[in-house]
Structure 1
Amino acid sequence: MGIELHDYQTTLKSRVSLSGIGVHSGKPVTIHFSPADPDSGVVLQRIDSAGTGREIRALVSEIGGTDFCTALGDPAGDHVATVEHLMAALSSLGIDNVLIEIDGGEVPIMDGSAMAFVEAFDSVGIEVQPLKRRFIRILKPVRLEAGGSWAEFRPYDGTRFEIEIDFESKAIGRQFFAADIDPDMFRREIARARTFGFMKDVERLWAAGYALGSSLENSVVIGEDNNVINMEGLRYPNEFVRHKMLDAMGDLALAGARFIGCFRSYRGGHRLNAAALRSLLSDRSAFQIVETSHRERGRSVEMIAVNAPVYAPWAI
């Protein structure tokens, strides 16, 4: 039986780079993606004069902030912000190990979606590595409530997200989107969904040091009249909830391994996603680390429990 892509760890076949601006900092930034060894995970490294070159692992234990985006590292020192779209692309395409060098403190926003990252990774291809991939299998429900919002993990035979949002704005309202995730589905249904915001919030965000690089080129903007002001309109009728799913996928990719289970949320965001992930990983009875095992005679596949890798975030 040949190697199956979903069974084994992967990395990129060669180096690829992207340049853009940070949606919050407004500063230009270039990011380089290079192949990495098996079991190294996703590692970020600042290469500008403001960084010391400290490696920051893309794990929930490294989350340093969840205000308007997910930031890894020390907010007062070496850190990389707005990692969620990039992490969603890496996780959904099945890229386990990669070294990411970045010459600024924020991942470039590109067009506000994950599509530029998908296209960059597709342009160089994915290489299968000789070590088995590990998964986090959800064994029992874990639920977290915060005010009128909630998030939960549930057992499920696959990787599924069920996201619901509820905004007072008539341009958004209440939207629900659910999907079983695989690379083709992600490319087609989620990767192109853009970040969004309200014109009425712009001055407040600017005063707080956020959204300095936001524009109609990288965000869906809702005007004072509750209409989308982008000339091209929406990419999907329910682009808003699809983008919230993209964010959730990126935040949960910081578990360090893919889920076998279902994540559900209502009125969620980066802070709730991170808190729910921490809540799950702090309860060792709620999940199990597994990998595939093939039975040659019947060619059946089962998941078997394994020891966790040394970089595992469930050691938080």
Structure 2
Amino acid sequence: MANVKRQSTLRAPAVCAGIELHGGNHTRMVMHPAPIGYGLRFVRTDVIDRNNQIIVRPDAVTGVKNCTTLANAAGVEVATIEHLMAALSAAGIDNLRIDIDGRELPALDGSSEPFLKLIEQVGVERQEAPRRYVKVIKPVEVRSGDAFARIEPCERLELDVSIEFPDAAIGFQQVEVVPDVRGFRDRLASARTFARLHEVAALQAAGLSKGGSYDNAVVVDGADVLNPGGLRFEDEFVRHKALDLLGDLYLGGPILGRVTTQKSGHGLNHDLLMALYGDPEAWVFTSMPSGDTPHDITPELQVAE
């Protein structure tokens, strides 16, 4: 399938609300259509005493512990953005104002599927301006111990993700996927975030996972999956890691490259992005030739031309 050639936004506002995974508070989020060149911006509607707009870009990242957090120069933050960002990446959304009345996005079911369904319900509007891609022209790699993340030239975005945990319920898993809207919907979108039981108490002691439950996370204890409904996929864990990677990569906009990660997380994903953009010889801006067909014009995703 070809890459999307034009910028896109939503056809109408889309609303969702729910409990924050880490903060435990109830938040409401509204995604608004935005004009050409606007980019992706979060607006903290609960903040009225200083700049409440947070522009989505790699150098706005201020936290990578258990989720990705952005902040502006005034110190206003928005956290756990990666699941929404993954859905926006797959759907090809470039311009959007995202109003939110709290510090963290709602967890919903712990996956990207609710966000993707919202996008599909309101539809996507193609805009009369070319979409700018970052085309990788030289391999870039970052490492931390036995974990690594690498990106190399490719004519489309491809992900090759592997993880390995001592827990028998997880073990070694690997997934390769082209995360266009169809591949994302079928293989990644519904994969939920996960936690290991012995880590949950430590997370909560650190002020995290206050809103975590079996409704928005998979919990494992050794060889056992504790959720009453079990797993959505046998390899749901690595699929969610690929989902997180896609969301983290989209902080820098649409990328053309093959990304391979092993035992990576938000921190190493961010390091890769910063290493890529920090090397001017590793990438160039490009757009799609006018003859290309948008990759996601399908019956399932309404696209207005």
Instruction: Give the TM-score band, short-chain normalised.
Output: over 0.9
Q: How many Å separate the matches in 1 of 2:57 and 2:274?
A: 11
Indicate whether 1:265 and 2:230 are aligned: no
Counterpart secondary structure, 2:289: strand
Question: Structure 1 212/280 Cα, relative in aligned 2: closer, same or farther at 3 Å?
Answer: same
Return the offset for 1:198. Answer: 1.1
| 1:157 alignment partner AA | E
Quote the RMSD (CA, aligned, Å). Answer: 1.7
| TM-score, normalised via structure 1 length | 0.89
Q: How many Å separate the matches in 2 of 1:195 and 1:202?
A: 13
Q: How many Å separate the matches in 2 of 1:5 and 1:35?
A: 21
Q: Is the 8 A contact 1:51 1:77 kept in 2?
A: no
Taking only the aligned residue pairs, the percentage that are identical comes to: 36
Q: Is the 8 A contact 2:51 2:74 kept in 1?
A: no
| 1:40 alignment partner AA | Y
Please name the residue that 2:139 is paired with: 141
Please name the residue that 2:283 is paired with: 287
Q: Deviations over 1:159-179 (max 9, x none)?
A: 100000011111100111001
Question: Structure 1 107/140 Cα, relative in aligned 2: closer, same or farther at 3 Å?
Answer: same
Q: Is the 8 A contact 2:197 2:220 kept in 1?
A: yes
Q: Deviations over 1:102-124 (max 9, x none)?
A: 00000111000001101111111
Q: Is the 8 A contact 2:3 2:156 kept in 1?
A: no
Please name the residue that 1:128 is paired with: 126
Q: Is the 8 A contact 1:64 1:71 kept in 2?
A: yes
Summarize the alignment of residues 1-316 of structure 1 with structure 2, pairs less than 5 Å apart.
6-49=4-47, 52-73=50-71, 77-223=75-221, 225-255=222-252, 257-294=253-290
Please name the residue that 1:310 is paired with: none
Please name the residue that 2:297 is paired with: none
Please name the residue that 2:302 is paired with: none
Q: How many Å separate the matches in 1 of 2:198 and 2:292?
A: 56
Q: Is the 8 A contact 1:71 1:79 kept in 2?
A: yes
Return the offset for 1:181. Answer: 2.0
Q: Is the 8 A contact 2:149 2:264 kept in 1?
A: yes
Q: Deviations over 1:2-34 (max 9, x none)?
A: xx9811101000111100011000000000000
For structure 1, the residue ranges without an aligned partner over 5 or more in a row are: 302-316
Number of equivalences: 292
Q: How many Å separate the matches in 1 of 2:63 and 2:73?
A: 7
Q: How many Å separate the matches in 1 of 2:167 and 2:147?
A: 17
Question: Structure 1 155/233 Cα, relative in aligned 2: closer, same or farther at 3 Å?
Answer: same
Return the offset for 1:158. Answer: 1.3
Q: Deviations over 1:152-205 (max 9, x none)?
A: 001112110000001111110011100112111111110000000011112111
Q: How many Å separate the matches in 2 of 1:259 and 1:65?
A: 22
Q: How many Å separate the matches in 2 of 1:12 and 1:300?
A: 21
Q: Is the 8 A contact 2:54 2:72 kept in 1?
A: no
Q: How many Å separate the matches in 1 of 2:61 and 2:250?
A: 12
Question: Structure 1 259/215 Cα, relative in aligned 2: closer, same or farther at 3 Å?
Answer: same
Q: How many Å separate the matches in 1 of 2:102 and 2:64?
A: 18
Question: Structure 1 171/91 Cα, relative in aligned 2: closer, same or farther at 3 Å?
Answer: same
Return the offset for 1:54. Answer: 2.1
For structure 2, the residue ranges without an aligned partner over 5 or more in a row are: 294-305
Return the offset for 1:51. Answer: 6.8
